[in-house]
Structure 1
Amino acid sequence: MNRTVQTFVSGTHTGVPPTYEMLKEEHEVSVLGAPQSSAPMTTTVINIHSETAVPDHIVWSLFNTLFMNWCCLGFVAFAYSVKSRDRKMVGDVTGAQSYASTAKCLNIWALVLGLFLTTGFIVLLGFATLILYQTAIKSMQEGRGHL
């Protein structure tokens, strides 16, 4: 290696022993050398994508298929979840994310619609039971009044 020591002598420090900072600067210049060019340094950044976790929502879809399958939304969501899992196994992350997003949307709609319709059905069943009970009470009272 070609190392040359460059000494810097300024007119103000003539005859004064060098300080630690001056010696350190001389050492850095001798080790690093003078800058080669005044052009700005360019850097290259390489992004390496690691395994991206793509949720396929298959358990949620299976739950909706078995319990909240109003209008077959749970079954369709299950089909998209399986397609998402297949795309993930092949290595197509973009396709897997697309199918997973559709499955998630269908699962949300299946769950919301299922909860509303189930709650509505229970409320309707309660009102029907109440009306039948009141009708039965009236018919019993009318039957006793005629005796």
Structure 2
Amino acid sequence: MDNATYSYSSDCTPLTSCKSARKPAGSTVVNMGHGPKRAPKDYLLWSLCNTLYVNFCCLGFMALLYSIKARDQKTLGDLRAAQECSDKAKWYNILASGWNLLVPLLLLGLVVLLLVHLGTTEGSFDFFGEEGFQTFMNLFGR
């Protein structure tokens, strides 16, 4: 933008009779609508990570399929179908991520409970010593 100053002639313009006859306008409202619609996210990277890690009941694979489908629909210009596929991909990713966090935590808890139980049980073999290991191998190493 330049900083030039503009001056207008004081004579009458073609649309009005004279410059002094013009009245200042109030306010002008321009309705712009809701603006351009945003394209929905496709969650492709999240789906790919869920597909490669654990992938219980193919939840990550389903998320990957819907992510690719959302990207295809977005490319075709069908934003409604892209939004539906994007929502499905998001929920499959949430389920897959929840499962990917839940399984290792459950296994860790099970191992901790097993070790605590074996360490506090009276009258059982010494699991943590050399004799305990030999007894364990004799029981299960047939």
TM range (shorter): 0.5 to 0.7
1:31 pairs with one of 11, 17, 22: 22
- Closer, same or farther in 2 for the Cα pair 1:91/1:129, shift >3 Å? same
Contact 1:68 1:111 in 2 (8 A): no
Identity %: 30
Cα distance, 1:64 vs. partner? 0.4
Q: Which amino acid is 1:31 matched to?
A: R
CA RMSD in angstroms comes to 3.8
Q: Please identify the structure whose Cα radius of gyration is greater.
A: 1
User: What is the match of residue 71 of structure 2?
Assistant: 85
Q: Which amino acid is 2:97 matched to?
A: L
Q: Does 1:114 align with 2:100?
A: yes
2:82 pairs with one of 71, 86, 96: 96
**Deviations for 1:26-67, whole angstroms, at most 9, x for unmatched residues?**
x2xx235xxxxxxxxxx7735374362321000000000111
The worse-fitting range, judged by mean Cα deviation, of 124-133 and 72-81 is 124-133
Contact 2:39 2:74 in 1 (8 A): no
Q: Distance in 2 between matches of 1:44 and 1:127?
A: 68
- Closer, same or farther in 2 for the Cα pair 1:4/1:49, shift >3 Å? closer
Q: TM-score, normalised by structure 2?
A: 0.61
Structure 2, gaps ≥5 residues long? 1-13, 24-28, 136-142
Cα distance, 1:125 vs. partner? 3.8
- Closer, same or farther in 2 for the Cα pair 1:31/1:93, shift >3 Å? same
Q: TM-score, normalised by structure 1?
A: 0.59
User: What is the match of residue 73 of structure 1?
Assistant: 59
Cα distance, 1:136 vs. partner? 5.5
- Closer, same or farther in 2 for the Cα pair 1:47/1:132, shift >3 Å? same
User: What is the match of residue 17 of structure 2?
Assistant: 3
User: What is the match of residue 140 of structure 1?
Assistant: 131
Q: Distance in 1 between matches of 2:18 and 2:97?
A: 77
Q: Distance in 2 between matches of 1:127 and 1:4?
A: 94
Structure 1, gaps ≥5 residues long? 6-26, 33-42
Report the structure, 1 or 2, having the larger helix content: 1
